[in-house]
Structure 1
Amino acid sequence: MFIHENFMLQNEYAKTLYHEYAKTMPIYDFHSHLDPESIANDKAYETITELWLGDDHYKWRAMRACGIEERLVTGSASDKEKFFAWARTVPQLLGNPLYHWTHMELTHTFGISTLLSEETAESIWEETNRQLQEKKVTVRSLLKQANVHTLCTTDQINDSLAEHVRIAQDETIETQVLPTFRADAALQVDGNSFREFLNQLENVTGIEIRNLSSYLQALTNRIDYFHERGCRASDHGIGQFRFEKATVQQGEEIFNQLLQQKRLNEYEIIRIQSIILEHLGKAYADKGWVMQLHIGPLRNNNRAAFNTIGPDSGFDSIRDDSYAVSLNRFLNELEQSDKLPKTICFNLDWTKNEMIASTLGNFQKEGLPGKMQLGSGWWYNDTKEGMRRQMISLASVGVLHHFVGMLTDSRSFLSFARHDYFRRILCQLISEWIEDGEIPAEMPQAGKLIQAISFKNAERYFE
């Protein structure tokens, strides 16, 4: 059996830490792209393809890299054809975490230990679909099976959050499901859809946006709305992090140009984005929210693919900008007014791990351990080596003990196996330090660290 109880646990210390301390801990998944409507409706799936391959750009990239035609990736092929195309792809993915995740998900969810390949595709297709069609596997059953204590979705600024209200009122849903204020649209002042966003914002707030001040007021209104419906965190996806201090008064003329649909130069874009971001950061602090910064994606690089398939389809990569000065400047501006919220900073360029960890160390706070967090290995870094690099950097430059741990950042309800994957990697890493004599072979002490990172720190941090 490939996925067995000691998978990735290479010594007795690792096995003890995992089985006695990590394995049964609940999951606090504080950043995902899961659909709240599917939770509210306890969605059932017709096929494994619908559950497993829909909207999963990780898998789509891998299939393209193996020469699979687009018809079988995102195109018009049948669900069975797409599943068989994925089955042909999987044996070629040795060394990629998708190979591990695929078989962990089959084992954890469906009890299938058979390796997926073109030869086994038919039997796995039949068995997974049988379980789905008998409604043995639904969205809520997946949440319960994975022991998900809390799940945070990603919700747009103008969202009604109606599904979150339904979830909160449904006492049969055991998992706490919370919205997250995804603020990207507020900063995309140079985008083609900004005018449409402003119109929608006026409609949902009832505030006429006639200048920058009224725009910021409307954003605060939406933060209040989200807070009343359980939101306790924001999220920003930022490709290039830039910050230049400017006042609202200085920004009024720039924003007026936006209202007149005039094109801004780069300097004006940076200044207006900086004003908006500073305002949002202070508003988050007023609410006691966590601010999440996901820095570094270079998006939609294949224009032909974007035009035919659309965004978030597997054509994004890693930026390599320098942003140490801007990040310090931004956090310092919030700190000067005592309006710096709890912050988790994720980065795609892993070479920035220690720069970010050192920056965050400048702004920790008395009485709030781990206020400023280096986020876990994210996207291209949620691999074995990426996770280890992030934790080693954090332990070296900061304090690993207060780390809030793993998140899925996924659109698939099968992806909670990634938490187990992370915990195994964490236990193995700590066990190696014990074997090397770098930390004491005291299991209660090491176990306390494992449980804190697996769940307890996140529960405390987001309370």
Structure 2
Amino acid sequence: MSSSIAAAPDRLLPSDPGTRAIARNLLELVQDLPIISPHGHVDPAMLASDTPFPDPASLLVTPDHYVKRLIHASGVPMDRLVLGTSPDVDARSIWREFCKAWPLFDGTASGYWLRSEFEHVFELREEISEATADATFESLQRRLNEPSFRPRQLFKDFNIEVLATTDDPMDDLRFHAEIAADKSFEGRVLPTFRPDAYLNIAHPDWVENVDKLIGEAGDGASGYAGYLAALENRRDYFIKHGAVSADHGVLTPRTLKLDRAEAERLFVKARCGEASAEDRDIFEAHMMYESARMSVQDGLVMTLHPGSFRNHHLPSFEKFGADTGHDIPFPVSYTEAVRPVLQDFGTAPDFNFILFTMDETVFSRELAPLAGFYPSVYIGAPWWFLDAPDAMLRFRSAVTETAGFSRSSGFIDDTRAFCSIPARHDASRRIEASFLARLVAEHRVSEERAAELIVDVVDAAPRRAFKL
């Protein structure tokens, strides 16, 4: 089948025979290292309950915005890709749409990952095509029904050591507690504090969220004081349940330090529904500063994910909700935006500030120089549209000449698609081997040093950046 491309032992390695031989040796050093996944979107309930995956479409198509968006771009209405939209749309019909669209994925990162999953996880032998849609659905369904294909067994088979989820600040984290208490479970599943809906006053539920936050975690205080106290208390709750980071999905990386009276004035204005668009931007920027202050105080790693115009197609958002494939990148600038935080906390002991971008022009122009000076700054791995083979090579080339290898976060899979995790990490390891092999072939790094570097980049870097 065409997915046999994913079985080629030299996939993603350099085409030059001599450089490829070096890359093979480097890859061998890291190929079997455990997976460290410190940022992603897997549902912890799946691992706590260990329930079987329902069907191929629900596992491989509907949760993956990379997949849905490209099928939709070919002219397939989103209604045909979302369960429950009409009686004639079910898992099998969605799978048929995917198989019909399969040729569209040639050359894409998601196509590569899917081929790898079909080959190495599902051991699928049939060709994916419109003609074989029902046969491949049934083959995959039989595999999903096997006891060995439960989430916990796959977690073990994938050799995952650490998996971080992304969680609402008011989540009781009971699934994390269940997993942590289960002595038979090997590995760590860590919550991540994600307070966007409580910091961004443009969020439609912000007032309701804040009222609940203060009421349940504000220690009896009210207003802005209760708000800050509640955020700090919930962060502490997450830390007690194993969290190592707080993640912030923001429109821009802007940070701003307001005096207490001005921050409180904006907070009151927002709760009354009177905040302007400028007020909203200023308050969120200030809360990024406050979040950095809290990270210095409690030790949570602070990660920043800006630059996505979320829900770009309003009709799709209104009908199908968020994360349905129409979030679009736009340019960002970091140097002035994060200066308020770095002025006060850039050299603070034990503060780790990981900066991500979907604007790859920022890698060499701003992020590498920032990380090359401030001890707190780490460069986030290529993320969302950039987590692809050629883009990862461009990233490594762009940042390394200024910041070296030690100032990056390690690979971040950032996925909801659980079965793609090993494929994504394998691709990253092959790209790192390819990049280092070129440096060795060009006599820029010795082969002995490259062997040390690839282990550091794959294993030590995420542990260092996320304090694991």
Query: Normalising TM by the smaller chain, what interval?
Result: over 0.9
TM-score by length of 1: 0.93
Counterpart in the other structure of 1:53: 61
* Identical positions, percent: 27
1:67 matches 2:75: yes
SS of the residue corresponding to residue 326 of structure 1 reads coil
1:340 offset after TM fit, Å? 7.2
- Listed one character per residue, the Cα deviations across residues 81-116 of structure 1 (whole Å, up to 9, x for unaligned) are 111211111212221111111110111211225542
CA RMSD of aligned residues (A): 1.9
1:131 matches 2:119: no
8 Å contact from structure 2 (residues 334, 367) kept in 1:
no
Counterpart in the other structure of 2:353: 343
1:29 offset after TM fit, Å? 0.1
Give the total of aligned pairs: 452
Counterpart in the other structure of 2:430: 424
Cα distance change on mapping 1:32 and 1:2 into 2, 3 Å: same
1:216 offset after TM fit, Å? 0.7
8 Å contact from structure 1 (residues 331, 340) kept in 2:
no
Which aligned pairs between 1:419-458 and structure 2 lie closer than 5 A?
Answer: 419-440=425-446, 442=447, 444-458=448-462
8 Å contact from structure 1 (residues 243, 327) kept in 2:
yes
Counterpart in the other structure of 2:388: 383
Cα distance change on mapping 1:201 and 1:347 into 2, 3 Å: same
Counterpart in the other structure of 1:90: 102
Counterpart in the other structure of 1:40: 48
Counterpart in the other structure of 1:3: 6
Distance between the aligned counterparts of 1:122 and 1:304, measured in 2?
A: 32
Distance between the aligned counterparts of 2:32 and 2:267, measured in 1?
A: 52
1:393 offset after TM fit, Å? 1.6
1:431 offset after TM fit, Å? 1.3
Cα distance change on mapping 1:351 and 1:402 into 2, 3 Å: closer
1:185 offset after TM fit, Å? 1.8
8 Å contact from structure 2 (residues 200, 280) kept in 1:
no
1:402 offset after TM fit, Å? 4.8
- Listed one character per residue, the Cα deviations across residues 404-442 of structure 1 (whole Å, up to 9, x for unaligned) are 3212111111121100011111111211222233322x2
- Amino acid across the alignment from 1:291: M
1:458 offset after TM fit, Å? 1.6
1:249 offset after TM fit, Å? 2.4
Q: Which runs of 5+ in 1 are unaligned?
A: 365-370
Distance between the aligned counterparts of 1:312 and 1:70, measured in 2?
A: 12
Distance between the aligned counterparts of 1:372 and 1:128, measured in 2?
A: 43
SS of the residue corresponding to residue 242 of structure 1 reads coil
TM-score by length of 2: 0.92
SS of the residue corresponding to residue 324 of structure 1 reads coil
Cα distance change on mapping 1:186 and 1:294 into 2, 3 Å: same
Distance between the aligned counterparts of 1:197 and 1:163, measured in 2?
A: 22
Which residue, out of 183, 194, 198, partners 1:186? 198
Counterpart in the other structure of 2:17: none
Counterpart in the other structure of 2:405: 400
With 380-389 and 123-132 compared, the bigger mean Cα shift is at 123-132
1:356 offset after TM fit, Å? 1.6
Distance between the aligned counterparts of 2:318 and 2:246, measured in 1?
A: 30
- Listed one character per residue, the Cα deviations across residues 226-272 of structure 1 (whole Å, up to 9, x for unaligned) are 11111111100111222232111222222221232222350x33432
With 284-293 and 176-185 compared, the bigger mean Cα shift is at 284-293
Counterpart in the other structure of 2:300: 289
Distance between the aligned counterparts of 1:123 and 1:198, measured in 2?
A: 50
Cα distance change on mapping 1:191 and 1:92 into 2, 3 Å: closer
8 Å contact from structure 1 (residues 247, 275) kept in 2:
no
8 Å contact from structure 2 (residues 411, 462) kept in 1:
no
Distance between the aligned counterparts of 2:272 and 2:106, measured in 1?
A: 54
Distance between the aligned counterparts of 2:314 and 2:407, measured in 1?
A: 42
Q: Which runs of 5+ in 2 are unaligned?
A: 15-19
With 269-278 and 347-356 compared, the bigger mean Cα shift is at 269-278
With 417-426 and 3-12 compared, the bigger mean Cα shift is at 3-12
8 Å contact from structure 1 (residues 56, 412) kept in 2:
yes
